[in-house]
Amino acid sequence: MNGNNHYLLVLAIALICSCTSQKRTIDKPVTTKDPKLEQAGEMVEKYDPATGKIILVPSDEIVVDTVRWVEDSTPPIVTDEDVKSIMPTADHPVEIALLMPFDASRAPLFSEQQDPKLNRYLHYYGGIVLALDDLKALNLPINIQAFDAEAVTNSFPTLSKKRAIQQADVIVGPYEKRDIESYAALGLANETMVISPWRPAFRTEGENPFFLQLYAGLEAHAEALITYIQEQYSDDDVYVVGRDAESERNRVKLFTESDSQLFKELIVTDTTPDLMETDVRILMDTLETTVFVLPYYSRSDEAFVNEFLRKLHEVNNVRDIVVFGLPQWVGFTNLNPNYLESLDLHLSISSFIDVDHPGYDDFRKRFFNKFHVVPDINAFMGYDFMVWLAKSVSKEGPEGLIHHQDLFNDGFASGFNLQPVYNEHTIELKEMKVPLYYENRRIRILRYQEQDFKLIR
C-alpha cells in the first residue's frame, strides 16, 4: 500500500464457470378418437337445426371437425444459443471497485499517533485483505480494484471518471454522505450496484433499486426487537417509553402500531431532572415480567435514559424487569452498569464480535502475524463483508447481492439479509413498486451480563 499511489490493490481472481441451460420443450395437445364413430353404420345422435331436436343418423354421415397440429418452421425469436447467461465467468468476471475512506499518504499505517478514524478503516481494509487470501482457493470469478477515495480533494469528479469505476458492476463506498449520494445516482444511471457499508442508513430521495445500505435504520431495529420480544415475552406486559414530544411519539408508534398488539404506549410527561413525579410501580401490579423498550439513540438523551433506569432499578427487587435499548447504548458512558445488570438489559445491534465463533482465535492470530497489530471489530467486519460480497456475486452476478441470503447469514461480527425498503405511502402496493433502496435487516441481539455485553442472537 504505497501512500503515493491512488491504487491500493489490484487483484484478479478468475474461474471458468460452466453454465448449461435447460432445453425448452413444447407440449403438444393430445388427440383422441370418439369410439362411437369407429364403427361404420352405427346410429348416433345428432342435433337437427331444422327441428331443434336430437335425431339418430348413421355414423358415416357425421363430419367431424378436427384441429390439426402444424409445426411452425419459423425459427423462435429467442433460442437457447441467444440466451446470455448472467453467471460470471473467467472471461467476464464481476468487476468490483472499493472506494476506501482513508488517505494512504498519511502513513505510517496502524500507528498509534494516527487519526483513529483512519485506523478504523485500515483495520477494515486489513480484514478485506485476509478474506481475499482465503477466497483465492475458491477461484471465484471476480476482479477487485481498490482506490484511496480520501487522497483526492473533491474525489467524486476525479475518481468517477476512471474507467475501472465507470465499468464496475459493483461500487463499494465511499464514506461521506454527499459522495455516497453521488455514486448512488451514478449507479442508478449505469445500472451498477452501489454499496454503502459504513454510513448509518439514510433515506434516499427517489427510487433506486441499485443502492444497498448495510447499516440498518431505526425501523429495522424496531422490527428486530418486536420479533424477539414477541418470541420471548408474549405473555408479559410490554411498554414502549417516550417523552411528550412529536419525534418521540413517532418513535413509540414504530412499536405500538406494528401488527403486534403486545406493545403499549408509555408517555412520560414528567420534566423534572430526576423524574420525581414518575411512579413506575403502578405499571407492575402482577408477578409477571414487565418489559420496557426505550428507543433512544442520541447522547443528549443519555441522562433521561439513566434516570428512567434508576426508577426501574429501585423497584426491581420486588418485580422482574427487562429493558430493551438501541445499539448506541454501547457507546454511552454515563449509564450505571449496576442498573444495566439488574434490569437484564438487551440491545439490538448491527455488528458485534462473536467471540464464540470457531474461527475467532485463528483470525486474530493471522491478522496479527500479517499486520503486527491486534484486530479491532472493523477488521472482523471487513472480512465478513468481503466473504459475503465475493460469494454472493460469484453465483449470479451483482443480483446475487439481493438474492439467496442463505449463502452467508452470519460471520465473525455481522450478518447479511438485504431487503427492499419502499416509500411508506406506496407500501401497500409494493409488489408493483420499485424500492427506494435495499437495507441489511440482519440485526443481532446483545444481553448485558457480568458487567459486559454478550451476543445471544
Domains of the chain: which residue ranges?
A: 7-14+86-216+356-443, 219-349
Domains 7-14+86-216+356-443 and 219-349 share a fold: yes
Write down the pLDDT at residue 403: 79
Judging by beta carbons within 10 Å of its beta carbon (0-12, 13-18, 19+), is residue 322 exposed, middle or buried? buried
Write down the pLDDT at residue 34: 46
The C-alpha cell that represents 239 in the structure block: 411498554
At residue 44, φ and ψ (nearest 5 deg) are -130, 160
Q: Is the pLDDT reported for residue 78 higher than 50?
A: no
Buried b (16+ CB within 10 A) or exposed e, 339-376: bbebbbbbbbbbbbbbeebeeeeebbebbeeebebebb
Of the pLDDT bands very low, low, confident and very high (cuts 50, 70, 90), residue 58 is low
Nearest-angstrom CA–CA distance, 160 and 182: 9
The C-alpha cell that represents 27 in the structure block: 407440449
Secondary structure letter of residue 429 according to DSSP: G
pLDDT digits (tens, 9 = 90+) for 125-165: 999 999 999 999 999 999 999 998 876 666 888 899 999 99
Q: Is the pLDDT reported for residue 168 higher than 50?
A: yes
pLDDT digits (tens, 9 = 90+) for 231-254: 999 989 999 999 999 999 999 999
CATH H-level, domain 7-14+86-216+356-443: superfamily: Response regulator (3.40.50.2300)
* Mean pLDDT in residue range 108-122: 71
Write down the pLDDT at residue 3: 34
* Mean pLDDT in residue range 65-77: 43
* Mean pLDDT in residue range 354-381: 96
Of the pLDDT bands very low, low, confident and very high (cuts 50, 70, 90), residue 35 is very low
Are 214 and 441 within 8 A, CB to CB? Answer: no
Q: What pairs with residue 95 in β-bridges?
A: 143
pLDDT digits (tens, 9 = 90+) for 399-457: 999 876 655 668 999 999 999 998 876 555 555 578 999 999 999 999 999 999 999 98
Torsion of CA 291, 243, 444, 447, to 10 degrees: -50
Of the pLDDT bands very low, low, confident and very high (cuts 50, 70, 90), residue 64 is very low
Nearest-angstrom CA–CA distance, 260 and 294: 17
The C-alpha cell that represents 152 in the structure block: 483526492
Nearest-angstrom CA–CA distance, 144 and 92: 13
Are 121 and 114 within 8 A, CB to CB? Answer: no
Write down the pLDDT at residue 79: 40
Tell which wins on pLDDT, 26 or 80.
80
Write down the pLDDT at residue 266: 95
Tell which wins on pLDDT, 364 or 10.
364
Tell which wins on pLDDT, 13 or 35.
35
Nearest to 200 by CA among 132, 297, 106, 133: 297
CATH classification (class only), 219-349: alpha beta
Give the angle 150-154-156 at the CA atoms, nearest 5°.
85
H or E, element range at 269: none
Are 387 and 367 within 8 A, CB to CB? Answer: no
Give the angle 392-375-347 at the CA atoms, nearest 5°.
70
% the chain with pLDDT above 90:
58
Positions of E strands within 84-227: 94-100, 142-148, 170-172, 193-196, 211-213
pLDDT digits (tens, 9 = 90+) for 169-213: 999 999 989 999 999 999 999 999 999 999 888 887 789 999 999
